[in-house]
Amino acid sequence: MSVPTSAVVVPDLLRHRTGLMPEQEAINVRGKTAITYGDWDRRSNAVARAVLDRLGGTGRGARVALLFGGDDWIDYAVAYLGVLKAGATAVHVNDTMPAVELRRRFDQCAVAGVIRGAALPPWRDDAGRWSVVVADLDQGDSGAVDTGVTPEDISDILYTSGTTGPAKPFTNPHGNLTYGRGSAALGQLVDPAPLLAPMPLGTTSSATTVAVLATTTPSPLIVCSPDDPEEIARLLATHGCATLILTPWTAIRLAAIRPQDRYDLGSVKTIGNASAIMPPRIARDLLAAMPNATIANAYAQSEAVPAIILGNVDPDRPMWLGRPGRGTEMRVVDPQGEPLPPGELGEVWLRCEAPKRLYLDQALNARVHAGGWTRTRDLGRATADGELFLFDRMTDVITTDGKLVSSLEVEAALYDHPSVREATVIALPDPEHGEIVAAVVAADPALDDATLTAFLAERLEPHQVPARIHRLDALPRGGTGKVLKFQLRQRFAG
């Protein structure tokens, strides 16, 4: 099970790929613009030198924000690898974040300067941070740069999804990204046909897409916005993509447009799902649209990566996640951290040998990490042969009349109704039952609450059926598409 931790750092991945195929496209944006590995390597060398000049000659320990948006993937990739080659740490943000949130993150991470997209205005604050575009940095010497970066040095400060409160920052060492020369999940992607990754810039997803996906897979990489399902379908068909990487929220919107009615998506062999459980109806709809595909699932917590659980999505077993990937250890434990017998419900812990991601908040690290293990704060059950079934996030579990309810199981049942576009389930306080199950949906107005409740009663145990249904035009979501349940609890708890 062990995967040796190598001495490779992220810029080494780009240099290696450049040496093999300097003229091959590294990143293609929407089928319209692209950059080769050779140009990416040269331009990021020039950026590294310019960043070092701005940092007084020493990049290690310095933090530089990457503020990009829209289709600006190429400059983002050049800036990102330039910052890493300078030995500095990248902080990934995007132009959809409010200024107050950008300022919070810049202050929290002690950002020295900001590299921004060419179309964005200069960043100004009272902290004296410099603000430049890539064109200001990549005009000089493009010779190789060696700053002595090690696998233990920090490549990124990333942020959690913010589903339970304000997003929290954690460090990401080079050796975490290069463990086994790429994540265990991405190691499954071996088809040389094009790969489409609809991901938002300035997120953990975009960082992984550029630092690992673009530098380690054999597939030409095409990127686009996750917010245009019609374009996703068009790119899949036009380029004959064999692999599609997406989140459940992107999958929900893609399935809703029935792309198979207008496009031949038979080239797709693998659909990579990450970030959350995919509702069974959505999985079935995707497989109907892409009849030659299987859906590969990668389960991990941001803080535990590259420890990972891998499996294929089975709509008939929606809570099944798979088995530990290469180099990953898993256990399910009781509240005291003691391993539980197979089939018992407990917290999922993950461990691997890679350099660890750690919160900037040391007190939070003490709560999340123990003896090399990462507490995922997810509840699940393990089988005797090492399969993992998810139950729910500990913060999302509902306790009503002393019985535990998985919000994920109820959400899966809600999505089974064809008139439900979006759904989530939360706990609301109740003086009689302790907590009640509350559903929040975006649905066809013709679907009334009584009909939906009756539909759910046919699929769920009585204690799982929502006692209350709230309706919104759209659910609040974070940058990666996860529902911000804490906002809904605050809104409907009164």
Report pLDDT for 276. Answer: 86
Residue 191: its pLDDT value, please? 60
User: Order of strands, edge to edge, in the sheet holding 468-471?
Assistant: 420-430, 434-443, 468-471
Q: In a 3-state reduction of DSSP, which class is residue 212?
A: helix
Which pLDDT does position 217 carry in this prediction? 86
pLDDT value of position 181: 63
Q: pLDDT, tens digit, for every residue of 276-287?
A: 899 999 999 999
pLDDT computed for residue 190 by the predictor? 55
Q: Which residues pair with 158 in a beta bridge?
A: 170
> Which pTM value belongs to this model?
0.93
Burial classification of residue 141, based on how many CB atoms lie within 10 Å of its CB (0-12 exposed, 13-18 middle, 19 or more buried): exposed
Q: At which residue do the structure tokens 């613009």 appear?
A: 33
End-to-end CA distance of the chain: 50
Q: How far apart are CA 84 and CA 87, in angstroms?
A: 5
How many CB atoms sit inside 10 A of residue 436's CB?
18
pLDDT of the residue at 282: 97
**pLDDT in the model for residue 470:** 98
Domain 398-492 classified CATH 3.30.300.30?
yes
Q: What is the CATH number of domain 1-22+31-174?
A: 3.40.50.12780
Q: Please give the Cα distance from 129 to 113 (Å, whole number).
A: 5
What does the domain layout of the chain look like in residue ranges? 1-22+31-174, 398-492
- Which among 333, 335, 437, 332 is positioned nearest to 389, based on CA atoms? 332
Flag residues of the chain having pLDDT under 50.
Answer: 1-4, 182-189
The pLDDT value given to residue 189:
47
H helices of 392-484, in order, are 407-415, 449-457
CB 466 within 8 A of CB 439: yes
For residue 161, the model assigns a pLDDT of 85
Kindly tell me the burial class for residue 130, based on how many C-beta atoms sit within 10 Å of its own C-beta (0-12, 13-18, 19 or more): middle
Predicted local distance difference test score (pLDDT) of residue 372: 92
Q: What is the pLDDT of residue 473?
A: 97
Q: Given this model, what pLDDT does residue 479 score?
A: 83
CA-closest candidate to residue 79, choices 35, 23, 25: 35
